[in-house]
Each structure stands twice: as C-alpha cells, then as structure tokens.
Amino acid sequence: MAAPSQESLLLHKQLKATMFLNEFTACDDGSESGNETISIRKRRAKSKVWEYFTELPVDSDGKAKVQCKKCDQVYVSGYDEVDSSWKTMPLDQDNYREMLARVIALHGYSFCFVEHRGIRKLHTFLNPEVKHISRNTTKADLLKLYQKEKRILKQTLKLVPSRISLTTDLWTSSTSDYYMSLTAHYIDEQWILQNKILALSHVSPPYSGAILVEKLFHLLKEWGIEKRIFTVTLDNASYNDAFMKILKDHPALKEHFVSNGEFLHVRCCAHILNLVVQDGLKIIDKSLSKFRECIKYVKSPPGRKKKFAECIEQTCSVSAKKIQQDVSNRWNSTFLMLESVLPFRRAFEQLKVIDSNFTFCPSTEEWVKAEKIAKFLKPFYEVCTLFSGSKYPTSNLYFGGVWKIQKCIKEEMTSEDEDIKSMASDMEKKFNKYWKCYSKILSFACILDPRYKVKYVEFCFQKVGLGSTHVVTLLDKLKLLYKEYERASNDICMAGSSSEEAFGDVRDDEMLEFEQFVSQVVSVSRTKSELEEYLDEKILSWKKNEKLNVLEYWKVESEKRPQLSMMARDILSIPITSVASESAFSIAGRVLDKYRNRLLPENAEAQICLGSWLEEVPSLEDIEEGHLLVHDFSDIQNFESEGGW
C-alpha cells in the first residue's frame, strides 16, 4: 500500500473537520439515534472531501473508515484519534500571529479575543501545534503590523504624482475624549481615485483653533505631505471658519498652497444641503408628525402588525410591503419615510375604519400634501446621494447638482400650495447664504468634464437668472490657476535637467543647445495653451457619453496635455462632502464603544487606521444604518404561526 501523501493528509484533516461538524449538527438538531446516521450521510454528500474518499463498511472494531481514491490509504473517519500515519501539517506561528492581528483590526475585536477559551479550543482543534498568545502579545503584534502598513502607505503617498486633498473633523468618544480624523484623497498613477484614513488622533484640551491647526500640521508633517495639500473639506460648523483662516496663514504651510490658499477651504455640500432642507421642513413639521405616529402605531404590538398587514393585503397591490421610520434630524430619512408610506394610503384608511384606537390617520389634504413634499424633496435626495459617493469623482458633479437644487427651489417659490411656497422661500435664504456664489474650484471641475465645459455653465447660469459676467469671472480664475500649473511644470523640467547634470549625465553642449532651439520652436508654433485647445474642442455628446469615466478620459489626454491633465487630476480628487470623516467615526464608534473605553488612544488609532487600510471604509448606507428603521409587513402568515413579531 502506498504511503500517504501530504495532499492526502490535508484532505484527511478536512474530512475530520467535516465529520465533526456533521455529528455536532446532527446532535444539535435533536435527532433520534435511529435517524442520526441518515442525517449525517445527507450532510456528508455536500462536502467536497467525498470527491476524494470512498466510505467503507464498518469493521468488527465498530469504527467507520474511508479509503483515499488517489493513494488507497485507509483512514479512520470522524474526529477520533487516528493511527500513527497521521501527522499534523506544520504551522507557521509568525504567520498565524499576523493573521490574528489582521482579524482583530478588520473586525474591531478586543485584544482579549485571543484569550477566549472557545477561540483557543477551535485553534487547537485546527492545529494541535498552535502556541496560544496573550492579549499583550496580540497588542504588540497589531502595533507592529500597523507600523509596517504605515510605512507602505507613506511610500505610496510619496510617489503620488499629484497634490492631496483632505477631509478632517473632530469626533467625541463615549468618554468625551476628542479625536481628530484626517483622510487623504488623491488620484494614483493608474488614475484611480483613492481615499485613506491617515489618522484618528487624540486631541488634548484646550481645543482652540490655533491648537487644532498645529495638531493638523504635525499630522501632515508626520506623513510627509505638508507641502502638497490642495484643498481641505470641512462641515459648516462656525469654528471651522476660524480654523481655516489660521491654517491659510500658517508660516510653514502658506507658501505651498495653490493660489495663496484661495481655493483651500471646501464646504461639505451634504451638510449645506441638510441645512437648506431642514429650514424648509420646519414649516410642515406638524403634518409630518402624523405620518410618524402612523408608523409607530402599526409597528407594534404584534396584534396591530397583523391587523395592518391584513389591510395591506386587502387594499394595496404592492410588491414590497415595507415602511420606514425616519430620524427627525435627518431630512433624507424623512424623504424615505414619505416615499415608503405613500403607497399604503388605502391600508391606513382601512385601518382607521376597523380600529377605533387608530386616530392618527392623515386627512385627504395631508396625503396630497405629503405627495407634493416627497416630489419636491426627491431631487434633493438624488443629488445628496450623488454627492456622497466615495468610489468616483464628485467634484465634477457639484455644479450640475447645486444648479438643479437652485432650479427646484425657484420653481416651487411660485407654487399654489402655501406650505410648499413657504418651504421654498425659507430654503432659498439658506441656499443664498452658502451657494449664491458657486464654489469656483468645484465649478472648474465641471468645465474639465468634456461633456459640459463652459457652455454648460453658461446654460445653467442663464436658467437661474445669472448674467454672463459670472461666466467671464469664472473663466478668468481658471486661466490664472492653469498658469500656475504651467509655471510649476517648467520649474520641474528645469530642476530635472539640473539634477541630471549633477548626477553626471553630461551631454555635449551642441545637443543641449539643440534642445533649447527645439523648445523655442515648439513654444512659438503653439499659439494656444493646452487649456485653450481643450475649451475650443467640441463638447462630447451626453447621449453617447452618459457613463463616461472622466478619470479615464484625462488619463488618455495626459499624453497630449500633461499640464492640463495634472490640474484636472488635482481638481477631480477634491471630495465635496465630509462623508470620509463620518466613515472614520463609524469605525471608531465600533472600536471605542462603552465596553472598551479604557483603550489607550495610540492603540485605538492603530486598530482603527489599520482596519480601514486592510478593508474598504463603510458606505453611506452602512453609516446611516437605515435598514434598522424598516418594518416589513409582507409575510402575514407569520403572525398566525408565531403570534406576531
């Protein structure tokens, strides 16, 4: 009989685990002894190990055995001790410890996770050679891995060919400690948008603007990017204006800002949109409260759920029978509440007829008004969702989105419904406070989208009653910014040639003179700049290029227009919302919860940042966790069998 191969031994190990789980599950299901074998065999058939083994009849010793189809070796199945031919595969202890550190960072587990008896038993079962480690060893392993990944990311940032935009904000932990988040946004060499959490660093009191700016400066210097900052996106808290004023005048930073820091401060568009809509919703708060009470009434207790589910079945022909509650200080969840509740109008009216305790049903006029409000808010919700993306550029979407909002507000200011008209009037005041003068740097991004260019800006301004002077001013600013990139590009070329000479790559004087001659001829022959050539070209058809990847476009253009593409790379990397900060806080909230409030700040930062580097940051849906507010009334029969939910 042939000696068992390493592959056969590994398969046998998988077989042991399969048999163990099969028997464990069979016992857990409460199967009777007579049916237990049948239950196990049904489960066995699903495992891939049976492609390599044949089950043998039970011998006189009463042990179940299997035979390897490849080497004919016979093994005892199940999770009993096997014969001496079985040997455990060797374990790489260092790799095991690093994997544990990665798991803890990825899922936000506590360090004492490795000391849990169940985890240790599981690891011993998988490999008896494993050497268990303590929480302190795990902590040291995680910090070591954090430093390793940090060095890699530092090197990556050093090689990024563009400037770096930032989002930053303050977060308060469950113990009222302050942390400063810092996220870098850039477009890498492959023209792919990247965003990385660089820090969630503890901030000691006091919390003045000057102290926070110094904290930010030290973080930037630590990462080696203090001379390459393009923009900083912040929410609209009043202290951020003072913060940005101090940052622009920082002696070690101000000379490195583009256009003397004119475009440095970017306000979070999602936050502004929230302020605009919330001002309008105050007018109709009484009407909205009725819909909130309706949802609260039918979601519990079980008897009401059953009754309302029956009303849906009798009156509504809808496929999805889900209703969502709202969070009153989140206008987008209020819109989702209205959108979800409107299809069930007849069910609520039917409930009012059969349930005398249900006194919250809106009137006919209130249902009609709710439809108008939902219709009014829908463009706002779509724009907010578009603005909050993190896997695609959003700066080129800013101008069209803000214009769409302004257009909706102006249209509803002439509405026949007094409440809608009042809403629009209040929203316009808040809009004008922040967006009357469209952000210039974000408007440049629209012009650098080949489907829009300057003509789209002219069209939008005309629609909302703004004169051509706005377009001229915007274009002049864009040309001034482009000239900075031209000068910077020439400086880099000069520095490159001098460094080549310094390193001994000396060429003949005649060839150097020839290169100067060629460059002069080219500069004379080119009567237009790269920007002017781009603007003069025909606008790409929207119909044919609706799904255009604007980064891919500029990647191709970079060969023909290197200076303009460098400017486009920087502008298109600007985040127009502070969603990245919210993502960092979402991760931090899971790590620094009420059960781990004694975790040292440096350990917390290492775990949070490392976890974000190893895995993508959560989406906006993960942050808001709106699914927890949804109530499903689709399965009426569950009420009968389970007595309600």
In sequence order, what DSSP letters do the residues of 437-492 get, joined into one string?
S--HHHHHHHHTSTTTHHHHHHHHHHHTT--THHHHHHHHHHHHHHHHHHHHHHHH
Section 478-493 average pLDDT: 84
Question: Which 3 state secondary structure label does DSSP give 323?
Answer: strand
The predicted pLDDT at position 284 comes to 81
Residue 276's contacts (CB-CB under 8 Å, 6 or more residues apart) are 380, 405, 427, 430, 431, 434
Which distant-in-sequence residues (6+ apart) come within 8 Å of 281 by Cβ? 288, 331, 334, 423
Contact 398, 576 (CB under 8 A): yes
Give the Cβ contact number of residue 141 at 10 Å: 21
Between 37-51, 241-255, 446-460, the lowest mean confidence (pLDDT) is in 37-51
Q: Which of 621, 616, 623 is nearest to 193 (CA)?
A: 616
pLDDT of residue 130: 93
pLDDT in tens, 105-151: 999 899 999 999 999 999 999 899 999 999 999 999 999 999 999 99
What confidence tens digit (pLDDT) does each residue in 354-410 have?
A: 999 998 899 998 999 899 999 999 999 999 999 988 889 999 999 999 999 999 999
Provide, rounded to the nearest whole percent, the portion of the chain with pLDDT above 90: 52
What is residue 320's predicted lDDT score, i.e. its pLDDT? Answer: 75
Helix axes 269-281, 418-435, angle to 10 degrees: 150
Q: Check residue 532 and give its pLDDT.
A: 95
pLDDT band (50, 70, 90) for residue 642? very low
- Residue 168: its pLDDT value, please? 95
Q: Would you say residue 83 has pLDDT above 80?
A: no
Which of 11-20, 25-34, 105-114, 468-477 has the least mean pLDDT? 25-34
Q: What is the mean pLDDT of residues 533-551?
A: 93
pLDDT class of 26 with cuts at 50, 70, 90: very low
61 pLDDT more than 90: no
Out of 304-318, 490-504, 541-555, least confident range: 490-504
Which tops the pLDDT comparison, 624 or 571? 571
pLDDT at 485 over 90: yes
pLDDT of 317 reads: 80
Band of the pLDDT at 640, cuts 50, 70, 90? very low
Q: Is it the case that residue 434 has pLDDT exceeding 60?
A: yes
Q: Return the minimum-mean-pLDDT range out of 75-89, 149-163, 469-483, 548-562.
A: 75-89
Distance CA 450, CA 59 (A): 77
Mean predicted lDDT score pLDDT of the chain = 83
| Residue 100 to residue 116: CA distance in whole angstroms | 13
User: Is the pLDDT assigned to residue 495 strictly greater than 70?
Assistant: no
CB-based contacts of 138-144 (< 8 A; 24+ apart in sequence) = 138/97, 138/100, 138/101, 138/104, 138/111, 138/113, 138/114, 139/111, 139/603, 141/97, 141/98, 141/100, 141/101, 142/101, 142/104, 142/105, 142/111, 142/603, 142/606, 142/607, 142/610, 143/603, 143/606, 144/101
Give the per-residue pLDDT at 501: 41
Residue 466 has pLDDT above 60, yes or no: yes
